[in-house]
Amino acid sequence: MDQEKRIGVFVCHCGTNIAGVVNIPEIVEYTKTLPNVAFADAYTYVCSTPGQEMIINAIKEQNLNGVVVAACSPRLHEPTFRRATERGGVNQFLFSMANIREQNTWVHMEMPEEATRKAKDLIRMEVARASKLEPLEAKVVPVEKAALVIGAGIAGIQASLDLAASGIKTYLVEKEPSIGGNMSRLDKTFPTLDCSQCILTPKMVDVERSENIELMTYSEVEDVSGYIGNFDVTIRQKSRYIYEDKCNGCGKCQEVCPVSRPNEFDLGLQPRKAAYVPFPQAVPLKFTIDMDSCIKCDLCKADDACGELEAIDFDKPDEIVNVKVGTIIVATGFDMYDVERKEEWGYKVYDNVVTGLEFERLIGASGPTGGKVIRPSDGKQPKSVGFVLCAGSRDQDEEDGAKPYCSRVCCMYSLKHAHQLIEKIPGCVPYLFYMDIRSFGKAYEEFYYRIQDEGGKFIRGRVAKITEDPITKNLIVTAEDTLLGEIMEMEMDMVVLASAVVPTESTQKIKKLLTLSNSPDGWLLEAHPKLNPMSTTTDGVFLAGMCQGPRDIPDVVAHAGAAAAAASIPIHRGSVTLEPIYAIVDEERCGGCATCIGMCPYGATELTHVDSKLIAHVNEAKCKGCGTCGSACPSGAIKMQHFTNEQIMSEIEAFAQGW
């Protein structure tokens, strides 16, 4: 370490992104005057191949032993420049990066002088840090040859099938008794009008048949610890009060069960028993007893019901299963916005106001009416149906919990509903109240034209109020037709609210377990919105489907495939390289006070006896490198590698040289 420090500084123009604001020659000349700087130069794009060659050549020609690049954010290009440093023959951890783009030229665009001064300061601070950096060796650890997928809607199903097909053991965990998610509730899918069940159920069956998929329905992930390649997962398999290996799905328990309660799968539109499967095509076709409503009459256990199978056991406990996986895919999907909060539309007040998903069950062949569209108040066929688009989407009303984003599916599913009404009920007119029709996908715009041709009526304006005629139960819809500039009132037989999609409640729980982030709208945050929409900031954890943001089925399937591919890479490679950013203890200085023990959320610090002296020890595998222990250590015995006190202090000293 006593070797003379020779640092090379490379200032990036980033085209005009940086050079268009700050004075690059002035910065380079200033940089040359800094202590330990042996070389400084600028280049148009340092991240390009010639730019990286420039670093590598300078290391060799100038005999450099440290590198600083002043360019974009280290969150973007630190790995690029670390590799270049390593290729030049210098340990990659002797590299440091000054962020003079995202946190300088892009935020002080009209202040060239101040930005130039700030760039100099930031470079001086990074040079000071680079002067104190120490070479570290990245650690290579093996990867468990298994993956976990959380949530078994179409996203989780697709991701699991892809992982399994590439030979990876996949644990697919679903909290409901059956897989299938929201897609299994849909009747037809836009714009092709494929029957949703027909295209989904083969995939569901594939999941059940796949040798590489271990399906855990009616189960929830309770705990996750570890890191990429080596996650320890605790899963609670809730008791169905029926042994899955004994149940043959005959349904006799359901037949004799005297209890009746609303079926969640049908959004309460028809009843189910306490012994039930959510829908006939459920996978697995294993019955579940809902203990909250079971009256323990024992009829299901009788000889004419389950009888000899002896599959039912009211005392069957939950089971806790521990699995080890290398990577994790989150596919927790979406719920519907609680449109009851929009009081002006009278949902749950007027019988004939339903949500889009409820309408989907009403029009669906597998739904409570067998696909016959009737209005809830009197069972009559509606002849005029109003569709309120953007019901809770594209709405800034925070008090109602409405969402500012576009839910991306409502325009299209409402168009599809309009088509189905015209097809099923001769003379029925659908009226779509819209702000903009967003038919952005392949063959979507054509579908929109088709519905116009078929007789769908489009009124550009938001519905302000819905009231009910108490006798006929017809609805009076008040809206502004913004194209005519007139307030209009229309009487409708029925109204469908195309409610927004929102993240599921369990998304928050999974987010905490996996230390993910979410955007302000609640959807899980991706590693990069453009170039890495299926990864997260937690290494080894990926996102599939709606949990990351609203999208339609084709996009969900593509996203899930991308997540599966990304999640399979470390597993197929067999090992991952971990950053050697963990804490180490100087045994000479440690007094064994145990302050650090309480600091660590991972239990990575522990007290051990060394030569009869009690000292702290950091378990490298458990340490994630936050450095909280180091800043609490009263004797300065804990060194947080790559973020040492010495390194940070030198940055602060360099900062203070700015005035």
Partner 1 sequence: MSMANEFEPNILGILCNWCTYAGADLAGTARMQYPPNVRVIRVMCTGRLDPAFVLKALSLGADGVLVSGCHIGDCHYLAGNFKSRRRVALMRKLIEEYGYDRERLRMTFVSASEGALWAEVVQDMVNTIKKLGPNPLKQAGAAGQEGAIADEF
- Does 626 contact partner 1 by CB under 8 A? yes
Calculate helix-pair angle for 196-209, 154-165, nearest 10 degrees.
40
- Does 659 contact partner 1 by CB under 8 A? yes
3-class DSSP assignment, residue 424: helix
Of the candidate residues 153, 156, 545, 630, the single one contacting partner 1 (CB under 8 A) = 630
Across the chain, which distance is largest between two alpha carbons, in Å? 93
Are the C-beta atoms of 152 and 544 separated by less than 8 Å? no
Distance CA 505, CA 518 (A): 13
Task: Kindly state the tokens that stand for 480.
Answer: 């502004």
| Best CA proximity match to 511, nearest among 224, 313, 170 | 224
Which of these segments, 39-47, 413-421, 549-557, 624-632, binds partner 1 (CB under 8 A)?
624-632
For partner 1, which is the closer residue by CB, 118 or 408? 118
- Does 649 contact partner 1 by CB under 8 A? yes
- Does 586 contact partner 1 by CB under 8 A? no
CA 244 to each of CA 121, 240, 250, 257, 529: distance values in angstroms, whole numbers, following the listed order? 66, 8, 12, 19, 42
From the CB of 86, what's the least distance to partner 1, in Å?
Answer: 21
For partner 1, which is the closer residue by CB, 223 or 446? 223
Distance CA 77, CA 210 (A): 40
> What x-and-dash track marks residues 94-133 binding partner 1 by CB under 8 A?
-----x-xxxx-xxxxxx-xxx-xx--xx--x--------
Of the candidate residues 57, 62, 515, 577, the single one contacting partner 1 (CB under 8 A) = 515
From the CB of 515, what's the least distance to partner 1, in Å?
Answer: 5
Distance CA 367, CA 177 (A): 18
Which of these segments, 147-155, 186-194, 607-615, 640-648, binds partner 1 (CB under 8 A)?
640-648
Distance CA 356, CA 187 (A): 12
| Best CA proximity match to 127, nearest among 654, 646, 649 | 654
For partner 1, which is the closer residue by CB, 100 or 161? 100
Distance CA 430, CA 383 (A): 8
Of the candidate residues 91, 166, 518, 595, the single one contacting partner 1 (CB under 8 A) = 518
From the CB of 549, what's the least distance to partner 1, in Å?
Answer: 12
- Does 75 contact partner 1 by CB under 8 A? yes
Q: Which of residues 202-241 bind partner 1 (CB under 8 A)?
A: none
- Does 509 contact partner 1 by CB under 8 A? no
CA 473 to each of CA 158, 242, 373, 463, 621: distance values in angstroms, whole numbers, following the listed order? 44, 44, 16, 18, 66
Which of these segments, 243-251, 419-427, 474-482, 620-628, binds partner 1 (CB under 8 A)?
620-628
Q: What is the DSSP letter of 435?
A: S
Strands (E), 304-440: 319-325, 327-330, 334-336, 353-355, 384-391, 429-434
- Does 13 contact partner 1 by CB under 8 A? no
Of the candidate residues 195, 490, 581, 584, the single one contacting partner 1 (CB under 8 A) = 581
Which of these segments, 150-158, 228-236, 413-421, 644-652, binds partner 1 (CB under 8 A)?
644-652
Provide the residue type at 59 as one letter. I
Distance CA 40, CA 33 (A): 10
- Does 645 contact partner 1 by CB under 8 A? yes
> How far is C-alpha 650 from the chain's CA centre?
38
> What x-and-dash track marks residues 598-617 binding partner 1 by CB under 8 A?
-x-xx---------------
Which of these segments, 140-148, 172-180, 512-520, 547-555, binds partner 1 (CB under 8 A)?
512-520
Residues that bind partner 1 (CB under 8 A): 73-76, 99, 101-104, 106-111, 113-115, 117-118, 121-122, 125, 512, 515, 517-520, 525, 537-538, 581, 599, 601-602, 624-628, 630-632, 640, 643, 645, 648-649, 651-653, 655-656, 658-659
